[in-house]
Structure 1
Amino acid sequence: MTTTVQDLGSVDTAAVTDALSRGNCGEVAGDAGRRAQYSADASNYRQIPLAVVFPRERRHVLNTLGVCRRLGVPVTSRGAGTSTSGQAVGAGVVLDFSRFFNRLLALDPQARTATVQPGIVLDDLQTAAAEHGLLFGADPSTHSRCTLGGMIGNNACGTHSVAWGRTADNVAELEVVTYRGTVVHLGEMTQDEIDDAMAAGDDRAQLIASLYQLAQSNLATLRTKLGQFPRQVSGYALEHLLPENRFNLARALVGSEGTLAVVLSATVRLIPPPPARALVVLGFQDACAAADAVPSLLDHRLLALEGLDQALTDIVTRPETRAAIDTLPAARAWLFAEIGGTPDELPRRAEALAASARQADGFTGSEVIADPARARRLWRIREDGAGLATRLPGPGGGSEAWPGWEDAAVPPDQLGSYLRQFTELLGHHQLQGAVYGHFGEGCLHVRINFDFTTEEGTAVFRAFVTDAAELIAAHGGSLSGEHGDGQARSALLPLMYGPDIIALFEEFKSIWDPDNGLNPGMIVHPLPVDGNLRVSPHRTPLPLTTVLPFHADGGDFAKATRRCVGVGKCRSAGHRGDVMCPSYRVTLDERDSTRGRARLLYEMTQGEVITDGWRSTEVRDALDLCLSCKGCSVDCPVGVDVATYKSEFLHHHYKGRVRPASHYTMGWLPLLSRLAARMPRLVNALTSSRLASLIKRLGGIAAQRNLPQFADQTFLTWFRSRTPQGEGHRGPVMLWVDSFNNHFTPDVLKAGVDVLESAGFRVQVPDGTQCCGLTWITTGQLSIARRIARRTTTALGPAAGAGIPIVGLEPSCTAALRSDLAELLDGNADARAIAGSTVTLAELLIHQASDWQPPLIETSSISQTHCHQHATSGFSADSTLLRRMGVDNTTLDSGCCGLAGNFGFERGHYDVSVAAGEQVLLPAVRAADLDTHILADGFSCRTQISQQTDRTGTHVAQLIARALPPSVPSS
């Protein structure tokens, strides 16, 4: 006998997992780690599922529904988990389509259609369509990771919906299955087709007959209350059942948030893009003035009209993006207007658009962005808005800001009025948030600094969203403009629609899902807006004391881990130019994403699902494939820094316990290298002999890796026996002698000396043999790392205090001096001074020796940016230096090389390490012409290149040194 789907208190997780596993449902997981990873989406809500299923085939979906129906367990469909309203989390079984059920089934360029499985990522569809000169019109900002199934669930719209419509406008047909197992093909239907379907006498006939009767009985209501403007997304889209809309059941199901049926496949329409586009930025005194200008601008056949408030742009910290913002027209709010057409007509149309904007009150200026790279950087601000706006500027990292009222929409002619009253409402409740969104369609996004940690703050949240719903209703608007209602707004729908429409919604749901087995609590029979909150005053986090200060989060590790609000940019496997997250790009497993790891760490701080605190094996295993590349610290729009969290966790997890062997070999490599330097030839002979496999096995090192060879002479030995060259007229510079180059590739440091002396510097090195502590940091041996950091500050502090630049040639060690040192020695003035004095070689030459002319080298190169350099300083100075040298350089959008210090050498990591390198870097190296230089400043990057290709990497210092004139002795 089945239980009621809502009654899950007595349902046993193990029993559900076992039944699903025996039921041929695909990959099934019911362990605490998986359940914690899927406990939240990008919303304020948290529900721990009973199990997670990853279907590979159509029958796996059908079987899962069959098992859940027998057990009386509800099902929640999930794509990328980027929903901001809570409809992608549920207390039953979560069906994750994104991992395996994600294929492009067909693409017909002549018909301009594509048929896809629901887990396909939008960008993957766009890539396939682009080969035929086509695209899918709806393009939300999460396009690099959102799935078509999720877009269908929420009726996603995106930046270009003002021209190309919502997801519903671009869906031709759907194949779905109900909770009771009825498979139905949905699309437009003529009256004859409706009559034939109803006469069939099967389950499908009963479904269509009930839906037809619902529509025929409520024609006037459907015509006057629903579908009144494009962004009226809240509730069910019953207007598509009207005869004039051809009883389109596919469009009626779009936006139903997984509450009616499960999508098995979708056929969507594709369109040709315009031949050229132009971005016109229009400045205004404030966001309200920008909103007032919208109606007059819509006559210009725009592709997009997006609004950004200065409160959002003020949050941006990426240097290249910050530079693009600083040159915008002076304003406190901007409209980003995109036009499309032929290259010849765009300048005229851009000027006409600007002329219209000039007539608006509060207009401050305009600019046509002709540089495509700058335009991309500006659009990135808009795309990252959901993440950027989660931390408002302020002390201690700023206040947390949350969704919950981030998606309301009004008819565009009501936008200015609504925004003014909405701003007043924020002030009335003493709240604030950064506004941005699809101004061209009256849809506003905003993250608000609700305080969910207290009863009072939660009460303010309830009161505010209720008042805001009434405000939207007064303006003829919609609670949701594209994100769906979910748990965030479903309970507020009566304020927008009234009882008659709500009753129709309930009947519509009952026709499709009489058992309430699909995503219960969404849209109808709603869960309360303040139930299942991810942050709640009713849960007390575990008292976890940390070694690192976490100043940006007020010293609160739980707050640090909940920086992850779930926007899922780390799941952008095909997104180039970013580093995060190398292991996820290989495995495509949520556990290996920045978000998945942050979720687990947050659940660890709560002690409910992950119960062992710092000793958690679930967290340890999830962090195992983290490369500590630090890419997330800069690429994540919220600044989640899993590398730092991992160091902190490993410190506590292994405190007083035996560590993995690699922590002693790779973690203590700087000290072991000093011992090896006394007899390098003997050590090299041993590590190259038959004993190598035993050495690697005992040391926790991957059997497939060749161990690096120690140099016959360290750089320090060479340097301290030489005579300085050059005049040194620029004064002293402190060369940081990192352990990797000192012991393995001293020629890199020697080349650095030649370059620095040629540029007029007098090169010094620290006394003794120093270390930044990086290998101890990445392996979580923070007590030792702190002792080493104190030695480093003693050695470098006087130089930094005297204003002497500290130049590093190994990017990972340079990054450690710039960031980790001050974290380890919180409050240490010398550590802060060292961080401020440390520069890369390119930064020193560009900014402190700008009159020095490097040698001209008419050559070509490809360059791999070290992931730690990407996170701390970027590659712009290097690019400038290479241009001055005449080098035709291509910077690879390759992400991390995959070796990442100790990671790629550790046993169990080899396959992921190589696969990460094979995504871009290694194929690019193999394809490069033999006379093309392979530039890689990182020791790890050069090692990966040399071990996986027949080429070798060159440090930029070596490239310069080899071209220096004979007057400067070459080493």
Structure 2
Amino acid sequence: MSVMPRSPVARQPRRAAMSEFEDRLRRELKGEVAFDAGSRGRYATDASIYQIMPLGVVVPRNQQDLSLALEVARDFGAPVLPRGGGTSQCGQTVNEALVIDTSRWLTGIGELDVEARTVSVEPGVVLDHLNAWLKPHGLWFPVDVSTSAQCTLGGMAGNNSCGSRSIRYGNMVHNVLGLEATLADGREAVFGRFDEIAPGSALAGLADSVAAIMQREAAAIREHYPQVLRRVGGYNLDLFDCRNPIPYDAEGRANFAHLLIGSEGTLAFTRKLTLKLSPLPVHKVLGVVNFPTFYQAMDMTQHIVELGPAAVELVDRTMIELALENPAFRPTVEKSLIGRPDAMLLVEFAGESLDSQLHQLKALETLMGDLGLPGSVVGLESGAEQSALWNVRKAGLNIMMSMKGDGKPVSFIEDCAVPLEHLAEYTEQLTDVFHRHGTEGTWYAHASVGTLHVRPILDMRRGGATKMRAIAEEASELVRRYKGAYSGEHGDGICRGEWVAWQFGAQLDAAFGEIKRLFDPDNRFNPNKIVDTPKMDDARLFRFPADHQILAVATELDWSAWDVTRDPLSGELGGPGSGGDPANGLAKAVEMCNNNGHCRKFDAGTMCPSYRISRDERHLTRGRANTLRLVLSGKIGDRGLASDEVAETLDLCVSCKGCKRDCPTGVDMAKFKIEARAARVKARGLGWRDRLVSELPRYAPWMRHVGRLAARVENVSWLGGRAKRWLGFAEARSLPIFAGDYLRTTRRAARDEAPRSGSPPVAEVVLFVDTFNNYFEGDNAAAARRVLEAAGYRVHFNILEGERPLCCGRTYLAAGRVDRARQEAQRTLETLMPYVERGVKIVGLEPSCLLTLRDEFLHYGLGDEATRLADAAMLFEEFLVAEKQAGRLKLELAPLAVGRAKVHGHCHQKAFDAFTPVTTVLGWIPELKVEAIASSCCGMAGSFGYEAEHLDASRQMAELSLLPAVREADEDTWIVADGTSCRHQILDGAGREALHVARVLAAALPVHTN
């Protein structure tokens, strides 16, 4: 596929030379070299609507590797494409080139000068990582883009990124002092102020030529460059324009480095950046203004900015509603609402004095009253509350993309910037344009500088490209009428590249071409960006071209809920395809990933543990989704979900469900893995280890008789090691010991008769004792029963006389045996429904088991009963908290012998927003100080941590934060973890016993209740 339909294609290695090209890279580089279809497919997309298969991928280990990769590419005439987080929204980081990914190893930070407020970084440094590193010094890099958790400084420089607070701090170009780069001919050069370029240096000739072009085109530059802060199109040829002092330093001297800022990797390959830092604001307050109409929000922004805020950010009604549907965002958004606003503006004041910021907040309230909207401001002074709301705003793109169905908000005109006095009129007229084309737009972002992110909802499979072109034509006329910038923040790339000539005129467009040829005469650096770009609607470049197909695959789970359509104007789901084909639904569920890379973040959330230890795109939620999408569309592999490419990319997925919660579009990789495992089992059969693990619930009743014998065998090193090796288990990992059968030994509970419908309501509960807490750790079930009975509940159990205990089927799902899991679900439904019909709650101890009733049970096609059971299923702590809130819980607790507890949350608890109740119930124990460990997945993940090939990965995940935090705890601190696997990992890795919450509460029961 060519990416240069309007100009000669950059010289490519001949097909016969591709193998030699790859071989030489492998021989000479220490880093990773990947030319396989799966790896190339994972780098074929960014956060845009485009997809172009690269020649190959290189992940350089160090600067020497980078030099070697550029040298080899130059020798073979191969185009090169720099890539960081891959978050670009216009197609800047996709091309038919050798992709050089700097984000894994080129992440050095150094040369910090606190007094001068400067720092040097390599291009792969992530913005949030840099700011965390700078925070102890009271400094930060203030170009705070919404993708700060995953974007790299090199990518930000390439796009001339802006951020929410650009009204105070400016864009990337205002905050870069210099850079080091490799030129197309291999020479290394240091870009800085023009007046400091040494005569005869690598840059001297280039600088003179560029200066001559700028001076020659001075009149055209003054005429055509938009006079707005947010202008990132083309090249920065206004370096010498005194009317636009932005590119100048404090002494008024122009900087040659600024030509490369926003150049999208087309002129040189950046190796290091020198950044200008700012003092961290000491105090911040946030005023959330609620507007009855969107027009009022836009019209009043021009008055709000007169108060001197650090940021004014828009959140429209669509984004508010979608955020309220996300359990991670709902509580935060609800605190900021006054009624049902059509839009909100987040107005931040920041500085040295809290009194001054509170005075500004009061001034905002007064202003809104003067403008006719008294009582419309919610003030947030708490740093935690402000941070939570900013996180919602930062997730704006992902929240918008969480819409189900083929129609998605499409990025192509979202960065148009207009002067504030025209903002209300511009947005109103653009909304009319959307309506004329039968769609609606979603609005959010930088109201303070007149750059609103707006994405009309289009179905790119069915006529979306035609509408995109028509809307772009009309939007451009509006931008020109209001003297704005067509490209205001996210760069040109593919979707706005063809508009460079429209914005700047033919004369300056020709000058851009001249600049490109000066720097890159062979057109090898990210060709066809900014200069000689393809059409924005070139169908060959779309991720979903007109001939896009979805393979017919037999799914085991019901995915039909994703096979829906949405009316672009009303937002209502329905119409052809709604609730339709499960295979289409599976593909569309995969396509919910918008490639924004939120899964690359490294904060305290759970997503994505395998990426955290590997930094490998293959082991990332986004990388996995791209692989699955390409497989399901027949682009890679020939065996569908059973292919080796799918098995490889899912190998380190621990099914933690962190993505289900932390991914704003709700990509659930754990559920995809079930389908993939099922397909592979059908194609290749089931191994002994998987069969042994999956059948655990069936043979466990008999293993209690031989549990001690098995433990003795394991303790004989040569015999236990041989058995583990034969089964594929890690020799260094101890195996669980069958300790009994709690349910069968509790004869009174086992003899309970099934309840009859219509029985009079009593204080009762079903304790769902899972396989692990029944056969391995019965003390947990016993403790839970004591607590529930102490609180006045009659406890029923998930077993009937003469039958095997009910099971969630989790072990079957992990092995891809969905048919067996469905059978267990059916049996569970039939037994528990009489309780559910009486309003009795089903309470579980093991998060992964109980929450299966609330998740996978709903995807077996079992009808309304499954939904009713899911509504009745609660974790032990959730039940206690709900009963207390309802005024029904009477639980007396006494102080413990210990005064502190450190708590690790199971991944599934976090995914289902069920971890807070754990710390809540522990907080009921008098004098106990409770601390939640900021941990991701423990790494054990069911059988994953026992498997020989996964032992190292399992331990690395645990060492990220969990085990170090456990080791820091003194002997007077209890370690608490609800997950069976988590407790085993903690015992193996730190030598500490971790307790289920039920045991802690039982220990706190007064003596007379035990």
Query: TM-score range, shorter-chain basis?
Result: over 0.9
Amino acid at match of 2:782: K
Give the equivalent residue in structure 1 for 2:440.
432
Q: In structure 2, what is the equivalent of residue 831 of structure 1?
A: 866
Query: Is contact 2:194–2:254 with CA below 8 Å preserved after alignment?
Result: yes
Query: 1:24: how far off?
Result: 3.6
Q: Which residue of 2 aligns with 1:529?
A: 536
Residue 737 of structure 1 pairs with residue 769 of structure 2: yes
> Which of 873, 882, 895 matches 2:922?
882
1:618 to 2:645 alignment: yes
Is the contact made by 1:409 and 1:479 (CA closer than 8 Å) also made in structure 2?
A: yes
- The sequence identity of aligned pairs, in percent, is 36
Shift of 1:9: 8.1
Q: Taking structure 1 as reference, are residues 704 and 536 closer, same or farther at Cα in structure 2, changes over 3 Å only?
A: same
For 1:853, the equivalent position in structure 2 comes to: 891
Paired residues for 1:401-440 under 5 Å: 401-440=409-448
Alignment of 1:367-378 (within 5 A): 367-378=378-389
Aligned residue number for residue 745 of structure 2 = 717
Partner of 2:879: 844
TM-score normalised by the chain length of structure 2: 0.91
Pairing partner for 1:752 from 784, 788, 805: 784
Post-superposition offset of 1:321: 2.6
Cα offset, 1:908, TM superposition: 1.3
Q: What does residue 627 of structure 1 align with? A: 654
Q: Are the counterparts in 1 of residues 328 and 913 from structure 2 also a CA contact under 8 Å? A: no
Query: Could you say which residue in structure 1 is the equivalent of 2:756?
Result: none
Question: Against the structure 1 CA distance between its residues 687 and 230, is the aligned structure 2 distance closer, same or farther, given a 3 Å change threshold?
Answer: same
Q: Distance in 1 between matches of 2:316 and 2:686?
A: 50
State the 1:621 CA deviation. Answer: 1.0
8 Å Cα contact 1:600-1:610 kept in structure 2? no
State the partner residue of 1:210.
209
Counterparts of residues 764-803 of structure 1 (less than 5 Å): 764-766=796-798, 767=800, 768=803, 769-803=805-839
Match of 1:585 among 598, 603, 612: 612
Partner Cα separation in structure 1 for residue 724 and residue 130 of structure 2: 44
Distance 1:154 1:147 in 2: 11
SS at match of 1:283: strand
Matches for 1:476-491 after TM superposition, within 5 Å: 476-491=483-498
Q: Aligned to 1:559, which of 575, 578, 588?
A: 588
- Comparing 295-304 with 110-119, which one deviates more in the overlay? 295-304
How far residue 837 of structure 1 moved from its aligned partner, in angstroms, is 0.5
Q: Is the 8 A contact 1:485 1:523 kept in 2?
A: yes
Pick from 389, 400, 403 the counterpart of residue 408 of structure 2. Answer: 400
Q: Which residue of 126, 129, 137 corresponds with 2:142? A: 137
Q: Which amino acid aligns with 1:448?
A: P
One of 386, 392, 399 as aligned partner of 1:381: 392
**Alignment partner of 2:512 out of 490, 505, 508:** 505
Partner of 1:862: 902
SS in 2 for 1:446: strand
Partner of 2:721: 693
Q: Tell me if structure 2 keeps the 8 A contact 1:308–1:335.
A: yes
- The 1:722–1:461 alpha-carbon spacing in structure 2 relative to 1, beyond 3 Å, is closer
Query: Which of the numbers 330, 335, 349 marks the counterpart of 2:345?
Result: 335
State whether residues 287 and 308 of structure 1, in contact with CA within 8 Å, keep that contact through their aligned partners in structure 2: no
Aligned-pair CA distance for 1:852: 1.7
- Trace 1:675-686 onto structure 2 (pairs within 5 A): 675-686=702-713
Distance in 2 between the 1:662 and 1:134 partners?
53
Is this contact kept in 1: 2:966–2:990, CA < 8 A? yes
Equivalent runs, 1:58-77 vs 2, <5 Å: 58-77=63-82
1:222 aligned partner: 221
Shift, 1:823, TM fit: 1.1
Superposed CA deviations along residues 29-50 of structure 1, whole A, max 9, x for unmatched, are 1111211111101110101111
Deviates more, 1:236-245 or 1:337-346: 236-245
Distance 1:32 1:753, change over 3 A: same
What's the counterpart of residue 816 of structure 1? 852
Deviations 1:838-876 (A, max 9, x none): 011122122224342341436321211110111124223
Q: What is the CA distance between 1:713 and its match in structure 2?
A: 4.3
Aligned to 2:579: none
- What secondary structure does 2:816 align onto? coil
What residue in structure 2 maps to residue 110 of structure 1?
Answer: 115
- Alignment-derived partner of residue 319 in structure 1: 327
The answer on 1:54 being equivalent to 2:59 is yes
Q: Distance in 2 between matches of 1:103 and 1:125?
A: 10
**Counterpart contact for 1:102–1:117, Cα < 8 Å:** yes
CA distance in structure 1 between the partners assigned to 2:392 and 2:446 by the alignment: 14
SS at match of 1:114: strand
CA RMSD of the aligned region, Å? Answer: 2.1
CA contact (8 A) 1:286 1:362 kept: no
Paired letter, 1:464: I
Work out the CA distance in 2 between the residues paired with 1:562 and 1:178.
38
More displaced stretch, 44-53 vs 498-507: 498-507
Give the deviation of 1:398 after TM superposition.
8.1
Quote how far apart the aligned CAs of 1:740 are: 0.6
Shift of 1:241: 4.2
1:186 paired with 2:186, answer: no
Matched, 1:947 2:985: no
Q: What is the CA–CA distance in structure 2 between the aligned matches of 1:714 and 1:838, rounded to whole Å?
A: 21
Return the offset for 1:469.
2.4
- Residue 267 to residue 376, structure 1, CA distance change in 2 (3 Å): same
What are the Cα deviations for residues 228-250 of structure 1, in whole angstroms up to 9, with x where unaligned? 11101111111124477433111
SS in 1 for 2:376: strand
- Could you tell me which residue of structure 2 aligns to residue 237 of structure 1? 236
TM-score normalised by the chain length of structure 1: 0.95
Deviation for aligned residue 1:217: 0.8
Which one is further off, 274-283 or 8-17?
8-17
Equivalent in 666, 676, 684 of residue 657 of structure 1: 684
- Alignment partner of 1:559: what SS? helix
- For the 8 Å contact 2:407–2:459, the answer to whether it is kept is no
SS in 1 for 2:1008: coil
Which residue is 1:301 aligned to?
308
Contact 2:878-2:914 at 8 Å conserved across structures: no
CA distance in 1, matches of 2:384, 2:831: 43
CA distance in 1, matches of 2:645, 2:332: 42
Q: Kindly indicate whether the alpha-carbon contact (under 8 Å) linking 1:307 and 1:333 is maintained by their aligned counterparts in 2.
A: yes
Q: Which stretch of the first structure deviates more once superposed, 343-352 or 551-560?
A: 551-560
Query: Is it true that 1:35 corresponds to 2:40 in the alignment?
Result: yes
Question: Which deviates further from its counterpart, 487-496 or 639-648?
Answer: 487-496
Q: Per the alignment, do residues 480 and 872 of structure 1 end up closer, same or farther by CA in structure 2, a change over 3 Å counting?
A: same
Q: Does the 8 Å contact 1:856/1:884 carry over to 2?
A: no
Q: Distance in 1 between matches of 2:952 and 2:662?
A: 24
Distance 1:870 1:427, change over 3 A: same
Aligned partner of 1:678: which letter? H
C-alpha deviation, 1:719, in angstroms: 4.9
Does the Cα contact within 8 Å between 2:305 and 2:448 map onto a contact in 1? yes
Gaps of 5+ in 1: none
- Measure how far apart 1:968 and its partner are: 2.4
Deviations 1:888-923 (A, max 9, x none): 212222121111111111121111111111111111
Displacement of 1:64 after TM fit? 2.0
**44 and 333 in structure 1: CA distance in 2 versus 1, 3 angstrom threshold:** same
* Match among 546, 549, 552 for residue 555 of structure 2: 546
Number of residue-to-residue matches in the alignment: 951
Deviation at 1:611, TM superposition (A): 3.4
Take 1:486 and 1:547, find their aligned partners in 2: how far apart are those partners? 40
Deviation, 1:410, is 1.7
Question: Contact (CA 8 Å) 1:544, 1:557: kept in 2 or not?
Answer: no
The aligned residue for residue 273 of structure 1 is 280
CA distance in 1, matches of 2:794, 2:909: 25
